[in-house]
Structure 1
């Protein structure tokens, strides 16, 4: 949507200055059976969870030979980003990859970036929405890694995390196409009446309520509001494409973990499928809008667990694709990078965004997705924001 970006992007050659590298920052995942427990130990570090419990938790990884697809998905995205950058005059800008919880580890990648001589890098996190675990925790990890490198006597680069992209056309468009493809795969007799179940990761309600800037805090916070906005965008586009004006949809949740006495966002996808079946819904398309790629929580919680529940109920279901390495998403990352670079150079930029909420902030304000305890975090208007 070129009219939504100013001339910095529309008419000039893409310019990434002052950035001299891009870091793709992701969660990470095991790549074999022997990796599963060490990976889960990384994820749960500091919580005192015994190894036997971690083995129980890791059973869904063992169903897939201990391999999470997230690392391979990130390799595909890296390739897509490099191809897009090269095709648009940014081939001299290197793209690196680091993970929070598995190799390639973030600290190792930042050390490589530092030794390669880069001084200012933009960071694209594979999490599109506001929340502590989806934004601030990544910024805390960046701050921690930078501190470790300084202890080693290195001078790490300045890092700027790119804004949330949940409502960027390059993120929304591929998901619309995925829903249309899934609807086409349903039997003719149930297609028109199929419901849409937009799914995302459940988080504690307390974390949801304090997600986003302080003015967004309230029931569900920015986390729920942003997902609802994306769901509405997709539902509207699907209605226009199919001509089905009254297709029901709902935002639901998956992948809950943690103590059962702590309230988390509901309803769960499996409970939702059971409720829809009881109401006589003819079919359901599960739409994982909360996830950038088909990682383990999509493959297990939707393709395995939720699909098994639907089969038990006799309810036809389809699961639409995540964005993954779609070229439109790679182009969106380039636009986010060039947009932020222009802003850092003092240019006036009209950020590209769909829906009612508008573009997200570049710098996380004080009180945005607060931590459980004060801890340094990179990329904010206060190191403890």
Structure 2
């Protein structure tokens, strides 16, 4: 049985989002995060559909009116009432593989990044969407704890990940490295594991998700966070991570093409002053475009320019994510791509892609 973990640049049916509820951790920032999500939906629906899980019927109806006013085509917007604990669809959404030429969605366990936060409704969300008939692809449950932000693939059997997350005893305490690799080989068709020992961002609750640090842009290219400020507390770990990336090799033994992403000025929470995890690595690849988080910083333009070299032929779309990092994530963390052939409702504009 041939299967592979699909890369983010594989053609997509939609991007999945989970809308925040008024009583969530987003409550003090609800208007701001909703404005950011509005901008993301408008941007994504220029290229493809968006599937949004809403916390209740009132929000469902309000969003339908809002996006109609914003000019979002009705056939690009899918709303489904699906209460959740938080908004981080990257980690509670399904992970897609291609098996014998057909997409399959794997529903892994989500425990709030090792029990740090409530996650029961998040963990049940993919099953709820399946039961509501949203997916045409098969959905298979897995007992492994695994978050989408913890893994990066080239789509050809190689996985890039961090030891700090995937081997953390707060995820799968009975599994050592060999057992984790065996499970991911069986589930995802992973044959090569590129483990990073170093790299972290202050304010990150995920135990160093790789999607905040280093990302595949194609089979040969990795974009990564580089800290060039020796006085910054991040410098030693990120410099060590850069050395690790330089030592990695492709299947043919050649080094990867590495694209360093700039280091924005430190962002701090205005309430208590703790540092926030601003990172340009948390971009989202969709059909025809790449959405890139920006932070009102002088480095924004350099990040956009460098990612344009990594994704020729795709539009580069900045999204202001200063509100998102207040809850310790960024743009990619809010999203999960659903590959072509996974949604039940066909897109009448597929021929445009």
Give the TM bin, normalised by the shorter chain.
Answer: under 0.3
Task: Report 1 or 2 for greater relative contact order, CA contacts < 8 Å, sequence distance ≥ 6.
Answer: 1
More helix by share: 1
TM-score by length of 2: 0.26
Q: Considering only CA atoms, is the larger Rg found in Structure 1 or Structure 2? A: 1
More strand by share: 2
TM-score by length of 1: 0.25
